[in-house]
């Protein structure tokens, strides 16, 4: 590799890392946190006996899962202004990713709740608990453990999906790489470098997932 390329590689690392840490990660973290709340709420509604809210939750999951994320982002950012709703790129991205995480993860949470043995509910009821006490004290803590691996998966996916926000003018890591490419004419170099930073972020997360799983192991025989 010639010296010019090495120099470009070196010079572009700080702005890429900065964009990753200041824009990509906060967007991913915030939309994941909000998305998880939405996911738990959606999952609880879907296992409840309220017919109408259940139908609404099903409809929500159906629409979000059945349409491309990039198209959803375009509707929110480029489409909504036509209806009088103009959103900042960050807010538009946040809404889009939150809705997406909420829909996909609600299925993970729902499956995790349903995987807890019926005997756990009955044991809770038998000591006088009501449904919400059983959920809060007995079922959800166990469901969390079951859902750590699939939810980590979702989070890692989300980190990478935030690159879609480049399409709605949110200057995160990928868009930063595009901007540097526009001046240096080194797409192979810059996009590979951006890919390497994504890989680094996701590797750190995999380690965190492992730590989290270890913490739960103390009460599991398996």
Partner 1 sequence: MIEVRDLHKAFGPLEVLKGISLSLAQGKVLVIIGPSGSGKTTLLRCLNLLETPDRGSLEIAGQRLEFKEGSGLAPKAVRALRLKTGMVFQSFNLFPHMTVLQNIMEGPVTVQRRSRAEAASQARELLGKVGLADKADAYPHQLSGGQQQRVAIARAMATAPEVLLFDEPTSALDPELVGDVLKVIRQLAFEGMTMVVVTHEMAFAADVADHLVLMDGGIILEQGPPDRVLGHAAHPRAVQFLSRLRGEEHQ
CA dist., res. 91 & res. 45, Å (int): 26
In Å, how far from its chain's centre is CA 26? 11
User: Contact letters (x/-) for partner 1, 138-167, by CB under 8 A?
Assistant: x--xx--x----------------------
Task: Report CA-CA distances (Å) from 176 to 39, 81, 197.
Answer: 31, 25, 12
Give the CA-trace dihedral at 205, 210, 216, 219, to 10 degrees.
170
Binding segment (CB under 8 A) for partner 1, from list 11-19, 31-39, 190-198, 214-222:
214-222
122 is a site residue for partner 1 (CB under 8 A): yes
Identify the residue among 82, 130, 185, 207 touching partner 1 (CB under 8 A). Answer: 130
Residue where the block lists tokens 């499956």 = 111
Identify the residue among 1, 127, 188, 211 touching partner 1 (CB under 8 A). Answer: 127
Give the chain's end-to-end CA distance (angstroms, integer).
50
Please, which of residues 81-120 interact with partner 1 by CB under 8 A?
117, 119-120
Q: Which residue ranges make up the site for partner 1 (CB under 8 A)? A: 117, 119-120, 122-123, 125-130, 133, 137-138, 141-142, 145, 218-221
């Amino acid at each position: 590799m010639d010296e010019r390329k090495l120099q470009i590689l070196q010079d572009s690392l700080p702005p890429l890392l900065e964009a990753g840490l200041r824009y990509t990660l906060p967007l991913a973290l915030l939309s994941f946190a909000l998305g998880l709340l939405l996911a738990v709420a959606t999952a609880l509604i879907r296992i409840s006996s309220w017919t109408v809210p259940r139908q609404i939750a099903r409809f929500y999951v159906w629409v979000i899962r059945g349409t491309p994320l990039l198209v959803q982002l375009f509707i929110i950012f480029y489409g909504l202004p036509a209806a009088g709703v103009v959103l900042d790129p960050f807010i538009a991205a946040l809404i889009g990713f939150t809705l997406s995480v909420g829909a996909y993860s609600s299925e993970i949470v729902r499956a995790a709740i349903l995987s807890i043995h019926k005997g756990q509910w009955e044991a809770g009821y038998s000591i006088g608990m009501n449904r919400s006490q059983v959920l809060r004290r007995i079922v959800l803590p166990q469901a969390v453990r079951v859902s750590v691996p699939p939810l980590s998966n979702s989070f890692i996916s989300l980190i990478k999906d935030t690159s879609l926000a480049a399409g709605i003018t949110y200057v995160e890591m990928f868009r930063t790489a595009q901007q540097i490419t526009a001046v240096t004419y080194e797409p192979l170099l810059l996009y590979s470098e951006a890919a390497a930073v994504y890989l680094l972020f996701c590797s750190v997360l995999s380690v965190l997932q492992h730590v989290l799983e270890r913490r739960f192991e103390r009460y599991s025989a398996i």
